[in-house]
Amino acid sequence: MEHVNPSVGWGVLHLYYRVDRERAERDAGAGKHVVDAFAALEADGHQALAVAMLGHKADLGVIALGPDLARLQRFQAELLAAPLEPVYSYVSLTEQSEYGATEGEERTRLASEEGVTGDELEARLDVWRDRIEHYRENRVHPRLPMKNCCCFYPMSKRRAAEANWYELPFDDRKELMAGHARVGRTYAGRVLQLITGSTGIDDWEWGVTLLADDPAALKEIVYEMRFDPVSARYAEFGPFFTGLVLEPADACARVGLTSEDHAR
């Protein structure tokens, strides 16, 4: 199996490890296994972020994404050449939302909410089309920016008798999601979110990856979302993993995996 490329979306691996201190101390080049694996993955057109974890759930976090699941699996296997013990992982695929506004809906909104008509309406729609195309492309084929902090958690939508997301009509879900997105947009520029789908693939339905320079922004956005009906009524959450995003060699050095250059 040389390549396994999903017909829609990219593969995403969230991998969390504890450093095996005894092995790490005996291997001065331990970090090099990790750094080399990152470099080889990037050379193959995939991306990986290294995270020095806060708290004792894990020491090192790795978020890897790209078109080929077989390549991602190879990367995962290569990392195990380093003195790392896996403690948690999450597998998901990037996805397009089914709740995005259509051009017709944006046209109606511009006319009714903003009173825009004629040529101005068409010009505004042109701008909207460009922005949305770029935004949607970036959701399916993302390039994650380096920010100081990253938090990851898996979540699902509730299927309780009195609050079952999956029994709501599409139009109701779409309206609720529009409210969710309105809250989200107020964090534009402060928090970058990557929502990846894992229904049928891992234990929860989505992986939520949040990147921000200001750690307080991570707390604020998740707190504010808790009051939004989509989260307040319908969301269930798994464990949270938070850490500092660093260049791979720096992340390794921080968690006690030395590369030749760092082992001074």
Min. distance of Cβ 221 from ligand 76R in angstroms?
5
Residues that bind ligand 76R (CB under 6 A): 97, 99-100, 139, 155, 157, 177, 180-181, 184-185, 187-188, 191, 193, 195, 206, 208, 210, 221-222, 225-226, 231, 235
Min. distance of Cβ 14 from ligand 76R in angstroms?
15
Min. distance of Cβ 123 from ligand 76R in angstroms?
21
| Measured distance CA(31)–CA(34) in Å, rounded | 5
Residue 73 corresponds to which tokens in the numbers above? 């699996």
Which amino acid would we find at residue 245?
V
Let me know if 153 is a catalytic residue: yes
Classified as helix, coil or strand, 160 is strand
Q: What does DSSP assign to residue 18? A: E
CA dihedral 184, 203, 175, 221 (to 10 degrees): -20
Min. distance of Cβ 183 from ligand 76R in angstroms?
7
Q: Measured from the CB atom, is 43 or 188 closer to ligand 76R?
A: 188
Q: Measured from the CB atom, is 33 or 157 closer to ligand 76R?
A: 157
Q: Could you tell me if residue 263 is left (phi over 0), alpha (psi between -120 and 50 degrees) or otherwise beta? A: beta
Where do runs of H (alpha helix) occur along 98-187? Answer: 103-114, 118-140, 170-185
Task: Give the number of other Cβ atoms within 10 Å of residue 201's Cβ.
Answer: 16
What lies within 8 Å, CB to CB, of 203 at 6+ separation is: 154, 238
Min. distance of Cβ 120 from ligand 76R in angstroms?
23
Q: Could you tell me if residue 95 is left (phi over 0), alpha (psi between -120 and 50 degrees) or otherwise beta? A: beta
Q: Measured from the CB atom, is 54 or 101 closer to ligand 76R?
A: 101
Q: Measured from the CB atom, is 100 or 215 closer to ligand 76R?
A: 100
Min. distance of Cβ 218 from ligand 76R in angstroms?
9
Classified as helix, coil or strand, 226 is helix
- Closest-by-Cβ residue to ligand 76R is 184
Given CA atoms 87, 93, 98, 101 in this order, what sign does their dihedral have? positive
Q: Measured from the CB atom, is 94 or 231 closer to ligand 76R?
A: 231
CB 207 within 8 A of CB 195: yes
| Measured distance CA(241)–CA(232) in Å, rounded | 21
Catalytic residue among 153, 166, 187, 223: 153
Q: Measured from the CB atom, is 42 or 236 closer to ligand 76R?
A: 236
Residues annotated as catalytic (active site), given as ranges? 153
